[in-house]
Amino acid sequence: GVMEKLGLGPEVLLQENPRLIYARLTGFGQAGKYAKSAGHDINYLALSGVLSKLGRKNENPYAPVNLLADFAGGGVMCALGIVIALFERARSGRGQVIDASMVEGVAYLSSFLWKSESLGLWSQPRGENLLDSGAPFYEIYRTSDGKFMAVGAIEPVFYNQLIEGLGLNLDELPAQMSFSDWPEMKKKFASVFAQKTQAEWCSIFDGTDACVTPVLSFDDVASHQHNKERSSFIKNDQGEVSPRPAPVLSRTPAVPSCKRDPFIGEHTEEILLEYGFTKEEIDKLYSDKAIEVKNLKASL
């Protein structure tokens, strides 16, 4: 209702421009009991049902920072809605309103969980399933230098290479999908991984299909050979590292900026002048505290 109070709701603007695509991104959506309630990623994740699936056995559910509901279920789904609406407008010539709820976005994003539950992938309690830390071959293990290795050896051909790399004998171990043996197998794998450093395990598993990779820190990720070869991370002119835009398009790839992020208000005056505002109007907006201006140039 905030935009309506400003006289800028979709009904008003679509009358002015019927081709307008008006995206409304909120936590709980534009209608419903919680529509006007405050919330954060963890709340939207909880209401979507997804949070109940996240966490280890016998522990509370945990929210993976604020990536799932805010960014994936919210920002990405809203952007996808805009792309869909643009595609449709190319045919109809008409715009429309996008009601992007983070609850519904993250729920829809997790459709795999709903659809695969009947297949047995999520039939056990939290933390006891194939992909939620229940399986010993889909887990994270600590190395002797306090770092970690991520293991995702689901398919038998990959699992066999995992066992070989760990120096174990497949014939002496329980069957891979023997659920009752998973807890003991996790202990065995943990004991083996704890005997070598992360670098030593990388030297063993790099170049294999065991699906074993190092858990890289933000400090290490840009220097990893694979990421370096793909230029997956970039540095700005301040030396700060960030991910390169993805996905990479073959004809029109994104051109990342290597400049630092702008300060709040750094370009306000420049942009308003470009859009036809006079210096006097900009000064009035600034004095009314409607805008913020940060002038980096010395007035000499």
Cα dihedral 120/123/126/127 (nearest 10): -30
Place of tokens 């400003």: 6
| Exposed / middle / buried, residue 275 (Cβ in 10 Å: 0-12, 13-18, 19+) | exposed
**Catalytic annotation on 267?**
no
Q: Which residues pair with 149 in a beta bridge?
A: 141, 214
Of the candidates 40, 145, 209, 261, the residue annotated as catalytic is: 40
**Catalytic annotation on 40?**
yes
Q: Measure the CA–CA gap between 267 and 252, rounded to whole angstroms.
A: 27
| Exposed / middle / buried, residue 71 (Cβ in 10 Å: 0-12, 13-18, 19+) | middle
Q: Which two tokens stand for residue 38?
A: 């405050």
| Chain mean position to CA 92 | 33
Rg (CA), the chain: 26
Q: Measure the CA–CA gap between 29 and 39, rounded to whole angstroms.
A: 11
Q: Measure the CA–CA gap between 74 and 80, rounded to whole angstroms.
A: 10
| Exposed / middle / buried, residue 246 (Cβ in 10 Å: 0-12, 13-18, 19+) | exposed
Q: Which two tokens stand for residue 91?
A: 């045919």
User: Strand 233-235 vs strand 241-243: parallel, antiparallel, or unpaired?
Assistant: antiparallel
Place of tokens 């230098």: 145
Cβ neighbours of residue 70 under 8 Å, at least 6 residues apart? 40, 41, 44, 102
Q: Which residues pair with 83 in a beta bridge?
A: none
Residues marked active site are found at 40, 70
